[in-house]
Amino acid sequence: MSNQLINTMKRQIVLAAHSAREGHVASALSILDLLWVLYDRVIKIDPRQPDDLKMDRFILSKGHASLALYVVLAQKGFFPLESTRTFCTYGGNLGGHPDCNKIPGVEASTGSLGHGFPMAVGMALGSKIRHIDNRIFCLIGDGESNEGTIWESALIAAHHKLSNLCCIVDYNHSTDRALTVGDLVDKFRSFGWDATQIQGHDHDQIYRALIHRDKIRPTVVVAETTKGKGIKQMENEPAWHHRAPSDDELNNMLKELA
């Protein structure tokens, strides 16, 4: 059932991108498994009570992968599934980057890389100061970890012992051609984090890693993923970073995901 539903959401992603002639499809497919397990099995959240401070929070720091977040939020009842067809349309709410002022379930407007993670650190610190027992989750990209704000935030989180903070790294190796980041588990550990590495498309591994919570340290889950996962012509192909499928490509993709 999980594989069927994941493929259904992948079809929604490629259909939305094709209709809009816009979108970072490969990046969305890279993180879809991570987001689905988080929202379906881990995070404490309720679309009927979006402002309840006791609820957990999630920030998609790599905001260009917004299509994955949109289809997951739609599946969990934050807005109708049909809304994904309005992606990047005039008058529609679902933009290329998520907007917290327009989209139910979106906690922060992100897109400029390196900005969402420090916001998550601030949320986690705020919850700790107010003695709110919730968790703050944030997903960053491996390319995004080239940004200095990531490591400044990592230092702050460890210093304040933000055990309520969990960072998920989408390690799809898209940054390798520009700047190699190396062993992110060791890097985060050297910054005082509880760090683990998993296969980012294995739902059981994802679940076990996300429910884990250190008593003192913030947690990071480095997820080895495949950019464009599930569509062979797109997997690990840099040309697909920011483009929409043509009519013929869409038909082939839908057949592959059937």
Residue type, 72: V
Contact by Cβ (8 Å): 33, 200: yes
177 pLDDT tier (thresholds 50, 70, 90): confident
State mean pLDDT over 133-152: 97
pLDDT, averaged across the chain: 96
- Kindly report, residue by residue over 52-80, the tens digit of the pLDDT: 999 999 999 999 999 999 999 999 999 99
* Opening angle at CA 8, ends 22 and 201, nearest 5: 90
Residue 105's nearest CA partner among 162, 66, 140 is: 66
Output phi, psi for 145, to 5 deg.
Answer: -70, 0
pLDDT at 130: 97
What the chain holds in terms of domains, given with CATH numbers, is: 2-256 (3.40.50.970)
Lowest-pLDDT range of 5-14, 33-42, 114-123, 174-183:
174-183
Per-residue burial over 52-68, b if 16 or more Cβ lie within 10 Å, else e, is eeebbbbbbbbbbbbbb
Strand partners, 165: 136
Q: How far is it, in rounded angstroms, from Cα 112 to Cα 121?
A: 16
What does pTM read for this prediction? Answer: 0.97
- Kindly report, residue by residue over 161-172, the tens digit of the pLDDT: 999 999 999 999
How many whole angstroms from its chain centre is CA 111? 12
Residue 127: exposed, middle, or buried by beta-carbon count in 10 A (0-12, 13-18, 19+)? buried
Provide the percentage of residues in the chain whose pLDDT is more than 70. Answer: 100
Dihedral angle of Cα 115, 119, 125, 126, to the nearest 10 degrees: 160
Residue type, 200: G
Q: From the DSSP assignment, how many helices (H) and strands (E) are in the chain?
A: 8, 5
Contact by Cβ (8 Å): 117, 61: yes
38 pLDDT tier (thresholds 50, 70, 90): very high
